[in-house]
Amino acid sequence: MNREALARPFDARMVRHRAGPHGRSVAYVEVAAVVERLNAALPSWSYEVVSHEVYDDEVVVLGRLSVGPDGIVKMAFGTADLTRDRDGNLPSKGDALKAAASDGLKKAASLLGVGLEFYRKEAAPEERSAPQATPSRPQPVSPATQRQLAALESAVRRRGWSADRFGAWVMEKFGKKDATTLSRSEASTLISELSRPGSH
């Protein structure tokens, strides 16, 4: 496995931007760029959707990226919206599941370092490069998103946990009474832990 090649930043010409929360611009690369990077840096790899959930406004998939012959496995959730267009039509659930699977592959690949520059901070690029004031003010904590909470709920159901058991685990990990009070970073940590085969 060539970790340096995996983690190499993408060429600026390959980077796309879309509207994100709070009017921010979110940088990303198409899934084809991620596939090309995996093909170039790994001797062999495979990706499969382990499970999926369809909700009223989004679909959530759990994907597994396996690297051979190293035996490394990375799992991550991917999501896609099921919001109506201007004419009131819902998108195809098949197309949404495909988009969510692509999102899951990109996130799983990021655990190997691919495109990690897009996941290091949720802030916009100009905010990442801005000089810090002295003394610096504490940055506001972003709450867990609805997608993260849905992904947690789905993972907990798959494990057969009761609400009490999950609540106790959240309290043990972060000292919080329920998942709705988690930050994005905390929710992401729990999702990753629940995604590991055989954990807990």
**Which pLDDT does position 140 carry in this prediction?**
54
Write the pLDDT tens digit of every residue in 62-97: 999 999 887 899 999 999 988 777 777 777 888 899
pTM listed for this prediction = 0.59
Q: Single out the residue of 107, 109, 112, 105 nearest to residue 4, CA to CA.
A: 112
**Which pLDDT does position 141 carry in this prediction?**
61
Does residue 103 lie within any of the structural domains? Answer: yes
The residue among 119, 151, 184 that closes a domain is 119
Does residue 136 lie within any of the structural domains? Answer: no
| Whether residue 9 sits in one domain with residue 103 | yes
Q: Which residues contact 157 (CB under 8 A, 6 or more apart)?
A: none
The residue among 84, 104, 119 that closes a domain is 119
**Which pLDDT does position 124 carry in this prediction?**
42
Residues of the chain short of pLDDT 70, as ranges, are 20-22, 120-141, 196-200
Q: DSSP labels for 130-156?
A: SPPPSSPPPPPPPBPPHHHHHHHHHHH
Domain that holds residue 177: 142-200
Local structure of 162: helix, strand or coil: coil
**Which pLDDT does position 197 carry in this prediction?**
61
* Residue 66 in tokens: 């396996």
φ, ψ for residue 195, nearest 5 deg:
-80, -15
Write the pLDDT tens digit of every residue in 31-52: 999 999 999 999 899 999 999 9
Number of domains in the chain: 2
**Which pLDDT does position 198 carry in this prediction?**
55
